[in-house]
Amino acid sequence: MGLALLLGTLITYATTTTSVSAQTASTPPKKQAKQHSASSAKLAKAKPQQRKKSTTPKKQANRPVRVAAMTGIALASTAQTQAWVEDASQRLQLDPIWVQNTLAQAQRLSSVERLVLPPSSPTAKNWTAYRARFIEPIRIQAGVRFWQNNRSALARAEREYGVPASVIVGIIGVETLYGQNTGNYRILDALATLAFHFPSAHPRAAARQAFFQSELEQFLLLTSRSGADPLAIRGSYAGAMGLPQFMPSSWAKFAVDFDGDGRIDLFSSPQDAIGSVANYFKAFGWQSGMSTHYPVSLTSSQTQMDNLLAPDILPTFSVASFVGQGAALSGPALQHQGPLALIELLNGPDAPSYVAGTENFYAITRYNWSSYYAMAVIELAEAVAREMQGKP
């Protein structure tokens, strides 16, 4: 997924990794806004003559385009790639010549290979520092504008999927700063690199490589079906695309046409992005009306920290069990139905922060497997919602 992951991996704040995308490798890079319109044509289906120019602002996000990082060497045609072309074409019922020709145009990007590796000298996780990168005035104000510009779609998504508008706004804000940073890697290059040259130094190289081969298949399937040019679509170095940074498999499974124009366009239709994020959460168990988390107090020396932290972010303990182990709750938390998790957020040299996470907190981590990411989404959501009060 998005920028969150970049920060997550480079600074090692993110506990695990990625994404909607479900288990993307780890770390999409900083993105440039630039390619939206180019990309938007791509996966969007049909009706070419009716397609409007994108109205998404193409602000340059004041980051230089790292052209050097985007060019590589031609992907070598090997016995492995040949076998893959044959096998994938058959299973997906794609024209093997088209698959072959498409892959032959992919570039192997050494920058992408480097980016998926864990940092060589990880720094301590620090929620306070991580938070400061996302809960800040520019992102909050952009969130307010996004909410104002998409008020009815957000309200409809909340009605139809039960996911609060604020959470959807939080996700799109953390992922791409509301479309300003959607990534400038050619998706074909990124996925082909990771599908065939995943760095063996990675602790789970074999599984990750298999994952990216599968994502490459989904990408070719999507482009083939929509008639999009697979060479023109851009996104993160890990293959995530559009406003919500969906991986191809997530696009295939969870993206929806929420503006009703007959095609799914996560690059330049904020409405499609909004509906797709909400649909994703609903599919991953979002429960309407449930809080994401509650404050928790752990002052007692009797608190059974090892036991409470053992399940990590997986909600496991009833309110009674949670409290019984010395994790004190108050107010509405005491009425909570369903399991809780003790979420620990490290603060470098300072004392960690803790919250009691619900199943909806856990649902946010299905978008990006990190409690730091989830908490940033929640706090950005809350900050934008506060700003929205009293606004037209």
Select from 124-132, 230-238, 241-249, 269-277 the region that touches Ca ion (CB under 5 A).
269-277
Nearer to Ca ion by C-beta: 46 or 97? 46
Work out whether 312 is an interface residue with Ca ion (CB under 5 A).
Answer: no
In the 8-state DSSP scheme, what is residue 356? E
Residues near 269 by beta carbon (within 8 Å), at least 6 away in sequence: 40, 258, 259, 261
Nearer to Ca ion by C-beta: 259 or 379? 259
Select from 48-56, 104-112, 156-164, 256-264 the region that touches Ca ion (CB under 5 A).
256-264
Select from 167-175, 210-218, 264-272, 338-346 the region that touches Ca ion (CB under 5 A).
264-272
Residue nearest to Ca ion (CB): 257
Select from 23-31, 101-109, 255-263, 374-382 the region that touches Ca ion (CB under 5 A).
255-263
Distance CA 252, CA 92 (A): 13
Measured in degrees and rounded to the nearest 5, phi and psi for residue 145 equal -65, -40
Amino acid (1-letter code) at residue 271: Q
Work out whether 215 is an interface residue with Ca ion (CB under 5 A).
Answer: no
Instruction: Give 205-214 contacts, CB < 8 A, sequence gap 24+.
Output: 208/25, 208/116, 211/23, 211/24, 211/25, 212/25, 212/239, 213/84, 213/88, 214/249
CA distances from 55 to 23, 51, 62, 378 (A): 31, 11, 19, 28
CA distances from 111 to 199, 237, 357 (A): 11, 9, 36
Work out whether 156 is an interface residue with Ca ion (CB under 5 A).
Answer: no
Q: Taking the complex as a whole, how short is the minimal distance between the CB of residue 191 and Ca ion, in angstroms?
A: 24
Binding-site member from 113, 189, 261, 344 for Ca ion (CB under 5 A): 261
In the 8-state DSSP scheme, what is residue 186? E
Size of the site for Ca ion (CB under 5 A): 5
User: Burial level of 283, CB count in 10 A (0-12/13-18/19+)?
Assistant: middle
Binding-site member from 259, 379, 382, 387 for Ca ion (CB under 5 A): 259
Strands 350-357 and 341-347 turn out to be: antiparallel
CA distances from 179 to 42, 86, 170, 317, 387 (A): 16, 36, 13, 38, 20
Q: Taking the complex as a whole, how short is the minimal distance between the CB of residue 327 and Ca ion, in angstroms?
A: 44
Q: Taking the complex as a whole, how short is the minimal distance between the CB of residue 178 and Ca ion, in angstroms?
A: 18
Nearer to Ca ion by C-beta: 267 or 317? 267
Work out whether 272 is an interface residue with Ca ion (CB under 5 A).
Answer: yes
Work out whether 257 is an interface residue with Ca ion (CB under 5 A).
Answer: yes
Is 359 in the active site? no
Q: Taking the complex as a whole, how short is the minimal distance between the CB of residue 262 and Ca ion, in angstroms?
A: 7
Select from 200-208, 238-246, 252-260, 314-322 the region that touches Ca ion (CB under 5 A).
252-260
Structure tokens at 14: 């993110």
Nearer to Ca ion by C-beta: 259 or 312? 259
Q: Taking the complex as a whole, how short is the minimal distance between the CB of residue 261 and Ca ion, in angstroms?
A: 4
**Strand, coil or helix: 108:** strand
User: In sequence order, which ranges of 105-204 are alpha helices (DSSP H)?
Assistant: 110-115, 127-134, 137-149, 151-161, 165-176, 187-196
Nearer to Ca ion by C-beta: 158 or 272? 272
Nearer to Ca ion by C-beta: 45 or 202? 45
Nearer to Ca ion by C-beta: 199 or 248? 248
Q: Residue 329: which region, alpha, beta or left (left: phi > 0; alpha: psi -120 to 50)? A: beta
Q: Taking the complex as a whole, how short is the minimal distance between the CB of residue 258 and Ca ion, in angstroms?
A: 6
Structure tokens at 361: 């907190």
User: In sequence order, which ranges of 12-121 are alpha helices (DSSP H)?
Assistant: 36-43, 67-70, 79-92, 96-104, 110-115
Annotated catalytic residue: which of 158, 175, 217, 344? Answer: 175
Q: Annotated catalytic sites, by residue?
A: 175
Q: Where along the sequence are the contacts to Ca ion (CB under 5 A)? A: 257, 259, 261, 269, 272
